[in-house]
Structure 1
């Protein structure tokens, strides 16, 4: 999906897309730098949008690994279905179903979760469910990476991940973004 179509789709669905611009290569690079692609067997992505992060993950993912992505927007979902890669599973469900979905694909845990969800735009009950299920589906020492445009969700993530959280910032993105790195256990 090109930038013009991304902008049009984002304008129509700003509450679920959370932004008008796709992630910059700088943000994607910083977001994925903590992923050990050599050992990861399952990576999950929440809210892949136009697939910029998805494609970067696939470029580094081992041949025997899987990437399961959750996208609820019809147009983004249909565009993501066009990615031809047998390691990719595209799911049109809310991210709070992550445990059931990974089990349906014969996984007990995810190594990493990368999230672009606009947590501040979503009802608190849904974000709480998503974060709790993300925590519960991660393997021990697994990481959850989330970027946001504010620090609004810092305390929620800190509570969910028992304080094992670090924060970085990427100014070369529109808008600039905070990156939360949260580790289980």
Structure 2
């Protein structure tokens, strides 16, 4: 059912959805691999879609960790609100992550330790990608903040290096299509 809903959203808005199917659990595990859940006070997720990465984050976080999700797609936003309605310290925002600072102020968040992204940077307008990455770099914890995203090609690595000097790349073949996880350190 979720796969069909995801596919319909892709057909309606391919540039915003970016994939035909939700990410696999294997990709989700690789996406959270570099998160120090004991230390993390705030984790933000851009474009959670159906919540595959969100589930892993919520399973592993400590109870004090604040999690903020930014979902622009109304169908996915409503799904996430229903799916995670009983979670404490979870805020689900129906807006572009370009407006992240407004919500950090609203929820009294001063420091972000990790930003996990399911955004399709390869298909987003360049100006949107620039706005998001500038905000991301500025708002991440300056000493050890990490931005973790995945892409289906390595075409955007050079673009990301304008914002993050250190990028670790891992490949996950057990996803449709196979994907690269890019773990970017804010130094």
Establish whether TM, by shorter chain, passes 0.5: yes
Equivalent residue, structure 2, for 1:31: 31
Of the candidates 93, 96, 99, which is equivalent to residue 97 of structure 1?
99
2:169 pairs with 1:152? no
The Cα of 1:14 is off from its aligned counterpart by 1.3
The Cα of 1:19 is off from its aligned counterpart by 0.2
The Cα of 1:133 is off from its aligned counterpart by 0.4
How far does the alpha carbon of each residue in 1:96-131 deviate from its partner, in whole angstroms, 9 at most, with x for none? 112221122111120000000001111111100100
Equivalent residue, structure 1, for 2:118: 116
Find the aligned partners of 2:70 and 2:100 in 1 and give their Cα distance.
8
Tell me the secondary structure at the aligned position of residue 21 of structure 2: coil
The Cα of 1:159 is off from its aligned counterpart by 1.2
Matches within 5 A, 1:36-75: 36-75=36-75
The Cα of 1:45 is off from its aligned counterpart by 0.2
Tell me the secondary structure at the aligned position of residue 121 of structure 1: coil
How far does the alpha carbon of each residue in 1:56-114 deviate from its partner, in whole angstroms, 9 at most, with x for none? 11111111111100001010001111112122100011111122211221111200000
Equivalent residue, structure 2, for 1:106: 108
The Cα of 1:9 is off from its aligned counterpart by 2.0
Tell me the secondary structure at the aligned position of residue 31 of structure 1: helix
CA RMSD of aligned residues (A): 1.1
Count of aligned residue pairs for this structure pair: 184
Unaligned runs of 5+ in 2: none
Tell me the secondary structure at the aligned position of residue 109 of structure 1: coil
Find the aligned partners of 2:101 and 2:184 in 1 and give their Cα distance.
18
Tell me the secondary structure at the aligned position of residue 19 of structure 1: coil
Find the aligned partners of 2:155 and 2:107 in 1 and give their Cα distance.
33
Of the candidates 124, 128, 131, which is equivalent to residue 130 of structure 2?
128
Equivalent residue, structure 2, for 1:79: 79
Unaligned runs of 5+ in 1: none
Moved runs in structure 1, 4+ residues, more than 3 A? none
Find the aligned partners of 2:139 and 2:149 in 1 and give their Cα distance.
16
How far does the alpha carbon of each residue in 1:157-181 deviate from its partner, in whole angstroms, 9 at most, with x for none? 11111x2111111111000001111
